[in-house]
Amino acid sequence: MEKIAVLIPCYNEELTIEKVIKDFKKELPQADIYVYDNNSKDKTYEIAKAAGAIVRRENRQGKGNVVRSMFRDIEADLYVMVDGDDTYPAEFVHELIKPVREGKADMAIGDRLSNGTYHQEIKKNFHEFGNNLVRKAINVLFKNNLKDIMTGYRVFNRMFVKNMPVMSPKFELETEMTLFALDKKFRILEIPIVFRERPEGSESKIDTVSDGIKVIKTIIKMFKDHKPFAFFGIIFAVLFIIGLLVGIPVIVEFCKTKTITKIPSAILATGIMTLAVIFGQCGVILQTIVKQHRENYELNLLRYSQIEKYLNSKVEDKEEVKVVKEENNKSKEKGKQKNEKKSKNNGKGKKSSK
């Protein structure tokens, strides 16, 4: 039987968490709903527990730390991740689950931007500018056309969840997930959804400036880690051009006079060119390492899928054996009942003959 887990990381969401749990219970009555409370100072924990969710605590502060624990602890076939602030309607969950269930995607993303509801509800120009900057940077970097990089409404299959190392501690988590999926060639599908504004009294935990800086740092780090040849190649090109600009007058002078009077420029140009060569070599070496890492990751994914298939076949075999045993027990019970009836009938026959 397919097992679905709804993951709701929470920090001070007492105003909305009960409604979110009830909405997802209504849409997915067969699912297990997990709420991980991240040091809330209000009654989020108590309200979530009273609403019927499986509630646990995560003491390490930050959404990334919460989701890391969720991915490690929770076993399921399909994972639905959603915020506890009631900005993502539960009724869209079926559209997000469908492509993952059918094997068309490893991660389905709730796209808030395509239908314009996010722009209507979020009236922060700098916040929107940051989102667009990150989206365009990632699309250029990975030659893709994703529309919503930072949405918190996602559905994953088991393979993605159990093979993604969550490294980001806080709100740069969604960016990391998208970058990881793109780099490791996981299938991503965006589904347009409606975005709702937070109810009155509920405050956003996102700081536009500080979290925006963290996201940009994450992009630079992921660029360096996943595309080192391009990253260090850019630095090499910049340094090489500067070195040429500084060094060309020295070379021209030497060609004309066979002497060098611009000693400082010659030393500076030599140093810059040396740095450029070092950065270029770093890019080549690290690109080779990254390529090897990708090959190892693909092999590990293959082993993981084979182990999963083996374990599933064992479970199916156990279930078949259990069914066979139950059938045998039923047939034995029926045999016993028949024997008892025969013995009773034989006993009655003997009495009548006497």
CATH classification for the domain delimited by 4-226, as one of 3.50.50.60, 3.20.20.100, 3.90.550.10, 3.20.20.70: 3.90.550.10
Q: What is the pLDDT of residues 258-285, one digit of tens each?
A: 888 889 999 999 999 999 999 999 999 9
Q: What is the pLDDT of residues 230-267, one digit of tens each?
A: 999 999 999 999 999 999 999 999 999 988 888 999 99
Provide the pLDDT for residue 334: 66
Distance CA 269, CA 244 (A): 7
Neighbours of 218 (CB within 10 A): 21
Q: Is 202 helix (H, G, I), strand (E, B) or coil?
A: coil
| AA identity, residue 158 | R
Going from N- to C-terminal start, the domains of the chain cover 4-226, 228-354
Q: What is the mean pLDDT of each run of 10 residues along the chain (354 residues)?
A: 94 95 96 96 95 96 94 96 95 97 96 75 62 84 89 95 89 87 94 86 65 76 87 96 95 90 93 97 95 90 86 70 62 66 61 52
**Reported pTM:** 0.77
Which strands form 54-57's sheet, in the order they lie side by side?
A: 54-57, 32-37, 4-10, 78-81, 154-157, 107-111, 188-192
Distance CA 88, CA 98 (A): 17
